[in-house]
Amino acid sequence: MQKISFVVPVYNEAENISLLYSKIIDLMVKVKGEWELIFINDGSNDNTLAILKKYSSKDKRIKYLNLSRNFGHQAALTAGLDHVADDVMAVISLDCDLQDPPEVIEKMINKWQEGYDIIYARRKNRHDLFIKKYTAILYYKVLDKFSEVNIPRNVGDFRLIDKKVLEHLKGMREKARYLRGMVAWLGFKYTFVDFDRPKRIHGNTGYTVQKMSKLAMDGLLNFSFLPLKIGLLLGILSITLGVFITLYMCVDVFFYNIYYPLYKWLVVFLFMFMGFQFMLIWILGEYIARIYDESKQRPLYVIEGKVNFADDI
Ligand code: UDP
Ligand code: MG
């Protein structure tokens, strides 16, 4: 089998590294493949780094990058993906806490050999806290409804991507990174492997509420124009309401002879005017969205295959 790279960001995972290492060794003995395991130490403040040093000196297939501080999971993962060896044909990104069980990897590899380019591990149920579970469900619903690309639900950053997907992903250098969305944006042939997400074995989650909200915002803002549409909606709403109230007042004045003092008319006109302002904000927002989109400098298209050219893929 062709060479596979495992990319694992670690933040205070001292207790989990040896477990993950032995699981991966067992797995790769079973599937008989060449591999490398890249750890990215994301500014841990326990002895994660010392453990990585120990393992990497014993086993040359273990590599690690040491980031100068905590840059966050998505950045760490990106660093890892950028450093995958050239002869690697597929990359599997996973967490170090064994919440992404290596058993699932075997199924992913099988799917890859069947010819899929992206294999997402999809969580069937979560053993997370009540609040995390339900916010996640709600969040994915909103994202699904409003994002421009079809971002699969209930998948994290546990996935296998083929080398050709990796090459394109490496070309996407936007700063606010929501990797699962970026991978989905690229297209290619994808499928899912379902699994039960277990609880964390050792240590605590490195994802504080703050980090999670940032990731959630990155996802929503990068992949949907929902926030922008609010201006448009509010605008339409307040203009229509204004028009109806004006009509109502006109009926009162012309048919029932009711007198409205000037300030009442003004209030209604101001209301409608506010609607126009909302619309203006929306238009400004559309321009900002375009500037933002340009600044991401994503490729315009991604070619999966070429036929009868000098350099066919
Ligand atoms: N992680 C990281 N940097 C961070 C937070 C987390 O590299 O700032 C790593 C962490 O070591 C783990 C993975 O990202 O391998 C997922 O984090 P965690 O398990 O804490 O998230 P959860 O599973 O609770 O969403
Ligand atoms: Mg975890």
The ranges assigned to domains in the chain are: 4-129+151-209+299-307, 226-295
Write the single-letter amino acid at 311.
Answer: D
- Confidence at residue 205, expressed as pLDDT on a 0 to 100 scale: 81
Nearest-angstrom CA–CA distance, 254 and 250: 6
The ligand whose atoms approach the alpha carbon of 94 most closely is 1
User: Per DSSP, which regions of the chain are E strands?
Assistant: 4-10, 35-41, 62-66, 90-93, 118-126, 155-162, 190-197
- Confidence at residue 5, expressed as pLDDT on a 0 to 100 scale: 96
Going from the Cα of 162 to the center of ligand 1, the distance in angstroms, rounded, reads: 23
Task: Tell the CATH superfamily of the 4-129+151-209+299-307 domain.
Answer: Spore Coat Polysaccharide Biosynthesis Protein SpsA; Chain A (3.90.550.10)
- Confidence at residue 11, expressed as pLDDT on a 0 to 100 scale: 94
The model's pLDDT over 43-82, given as tens digits with 9 standing for 90+, comes to 999 999 999 999 999 999 999 999 999 999 999 999 999 9
Q: Identify whether the C-beta of residue 126 lies closer than 8 Å to the C-beta of residue 136.
A: yes
Atom of ligand 1 nearest to the CA of 96: 15
Q: Count CB atoms within 10 A of the CB of residue 275.
A: 20
Q: Which residue's CA lies nearest to atom 22 of ligand 1?
A: 205
User: Which residues lie with the beta carbon below 6 Å from any ligand 1 atom?
Assistant: 9-11, 13, 42, 70, 72-73, 76, 95-97, 99, 205-207, 211
Q: Identify whether the C-beta of residue 70 lies closer than 8 Å to the C-beta of residue 11.
A: yes
The ligand whose atoms approach the alpha carbon of 156 most closely is 1
Length of the chain: 313
Going from the Cα of 7 to the center of ligand 1, the distance in angstroms, rounded, reads: 13
Q: Tell me the chain's radius of gyration from C-alpha atoms.
A: 26
Q: What is the DSSP string of 101-142?
A: -HHHHHHHHHHHHHT-SEEEEEEEEE-S-HHHHHHHHHHHHH
Q: List, for the chain, all residue ranges whose pLDDT scores fall below the cut of 70.
A: 126-128
- Confidence at residue 132, expressed as pLDDT on a 0 to 100 scale: 76
Q: Which residue's CA lies nearest to atom 14 of ligand 1?
A: 73
- Confidence at residue 171, expressed as pLDDT on a 0 to 100 scale: 92
Going from the Cα of 312 to the center of ligand 2, the distance in angstroms, rounded, reads: 41
Nearest-angstrom CA–CA distance, 287 and 289: 5
* Model pTM score: 0.85
Rounded to the nearest 10°, the torsion over CA 157, 163, 165, 166 is: 60
Ligand 1 pocket test: which of 7, 41, 73 has the largest number of ligand atoms within 8 Å of its C-beta? 73
Backbone angles phi, psi at 46, to 5 degrees: -110, -160
- Confidence at residue 131, expressed as pLDDT on a 0 to 100 scale: 79
Of 5, 128, 105, nearest to 64 by C-alpha is 5
Atom of ligand 1 nearest to the CA of 76: 7
Q: Identify whether the C-beta of residue 152 lies closer than 8 Å to the C-beta of residue 194.
A: no
Instruction: Calculate helix-pair angle for 102-114, 14-31, nearest 10 degrees.
Output: 40
Q: Which residue's CA lies nearest to atom 5 of ligand 1?
A: 206
